[in-house]
Amino acid sequence: MPQEIAQPIIPETDDLSPEALRAYERAIENLSEILAHRLRSYVSSIEGFADLLTVTLDSPDQRDMALRIFEGAAHIERILSELQQYSQRPDPVLREVHLSHFVRETVRAIGEDAEARVDLKVETDCCINADPQLLRQALWMVIQNALDATDPSEHVRLSVLQSRGFVHLEVWNRGAMEIPDARATVFEPFFTTKAKNLGVGLPIARRIAEAHGGSLKLRHTTPAEGTSFVCSLPVEPDGTHPKIPASASFPASSPPTAS
């Protein structure tokens, strides 16, 4: 059976005025915050009663069923955390971040299995003014998206390049997204092709990049070139955030050859 793809909430946001788009985003943020707050108390009750129930169970099969309740509640908790994250606009606290060290620490924090699948290509040793916690969250989300989209035997690539006053963090994986009009839909909130995902990871990551005066874009997704997301951030010693020009181009790159 083909996998069902969730459709964007508003298929044609390009038709909305900037004011209407902001109002739509605020409405979704408010709804996300309300749902996260209201549902979390119910999940806590389910976990509490399941804990009490476990004490009374004798057979391994019954305890196994109680464990499934805990696992389901934990999954709901993760979804509620994502909802809460999406409802809050990022407010970066800037400090100097040494990029080559930062990206290595971020990849290491993902976990040993994931770290072994991420190939680093660091071509600049610059520092930027950024919120390391927020930026690490955004980069982790993009890397995890690439890892989830590839076979466990395949690698993804994280490249760090500098060009024209901006640093570009490119996350590349082999293969293409089978999504119509991918550039317009991958950043829509709650759009996902995975049954266990909520579909707010990439929108949150893009918000974090924009809060730093940068951008997160889908560069390409084709069978020949693979899929590439690029996070571009300004390199400014005083912490100011120049706007990235619409014509800004990324340094050319090519997918790694098969080993």
Tokens of 87: 């409802």
Structure-token pair, residue 183: 């550039």
Helices (H), 90-131: 99-110, 112-115
May I ask the CATH architecture of the domain 95-234?
2-Layer Sandwich (3.30)
Angstrom distance (rounded) from CA 140 to CA 147: 10
N- to C-terminal Cα separation, the chain: 33
* Ordered per-residue pLDDT tens for the chain, 259 residues: 344 444 444 444 555 677 776 676 777 777 777 777 778 788 888 888 888 888 787 788 887 888 888 888 887 877 777 777 777 778 899 999 999 999 999 998 888 888 899 999 999 888 999 999 999 999 999 999 899 888 989 999 999 999 888 999 999 999 888 777 777 788 887 777 666 666 788 888 999 999 999 999 999 998 899 999 999 999 864 444 444 444 344 555 444 444 3
